[in-house]
Amino acid sequence: IDPINQKIYWTARCCGIRRADLNGTNEEVVAKGEFASGVAVLDEQVYWADWMRGQILRHNVKTGREDVIVTGLASPVDVALDSHQIFWSDVGVGRVQRASLEGDDVQFLNMSWLVMNTYGMAVDSDLGKLYMADYVKTGKFTGKSTDYSGRIRRANLDGTGAEDLVSERGMSMPYGVAVDAERNQ
């Protein structure tokens, strides 16, 4: 959500990066992103992951300029931002990484060994925390939701201090997480 311009953004496999007014009117395509996954907005910049091409991209909604800022990833599926960094999960290799908003200084977060399938991320800049929706396989595959154990994880922005906040076998496969920093929730 872009509260300044009163827009909501989303990715759609058929249609790239899209946005509309908060009331659902004025829907439009922002960028083509055929394999877009995850989207985050900061000022006039829209960031997303391209899971097929292994890239993190940025699009300026004012100028229309689009840049690939990170390449060489296996299968990035989500992004989250703070004021000077972008974070993403790469499920192709089971890890979380970060870089500057220009794509420089790519780093693996040292909690990567704990991450299996992170499909939702959010940053709380005030507390310096990264929240992740994640799941792990629990054993033999039976085709039931109990084959996976879902969890909501939290770590410092450098990856230290990783902990499970919620971990439930019945949660199965969580795919999103959000933070309400104003209400500390």
pLDDT in tens, 51-86: 999 999 999 999 999 999 999 999 999 999 999 999
| pLDDT beyond 80 at 172 | no
CA 178 from centroid of its chain's CA atoms: 10
107-153 confidence digits (pLDDT tens): 988 665 556 688 889 999 999 999 998 877 777 778 777 777 788 88
Question: How many Å apart are CA 81 and CA 167, to the nearest integer?
Answer: 24
Least trusted range by pLDDT, from 10-19, 124-133, 169-178: 169-178
- The chain-wide mean pLDDT, for the chain, equals 88
Between CA 27 and CA 92 the distance in angstroms is: 32
Task: For residues 72 and 69, give the distance between their C-alpha atoms in angstroms, rounded to a whole number.
Answer: 11
Measured distance CA(19)–CA(130) in Å, rounded: 25
Residues 6+ apart with CB under 8 A from 155: 109, 111, 129, 130, 132, 161, 162, 163
Q: Which pLDDT does position 78 carry in this prediction?
A: 92
- Euclidean distance between CA atoms 4 and 43, whole angstroms: 8
On whether the pTM is more than 0.85, the answer is yes
Q: Residue 16 has what pLDDT?
A: 86
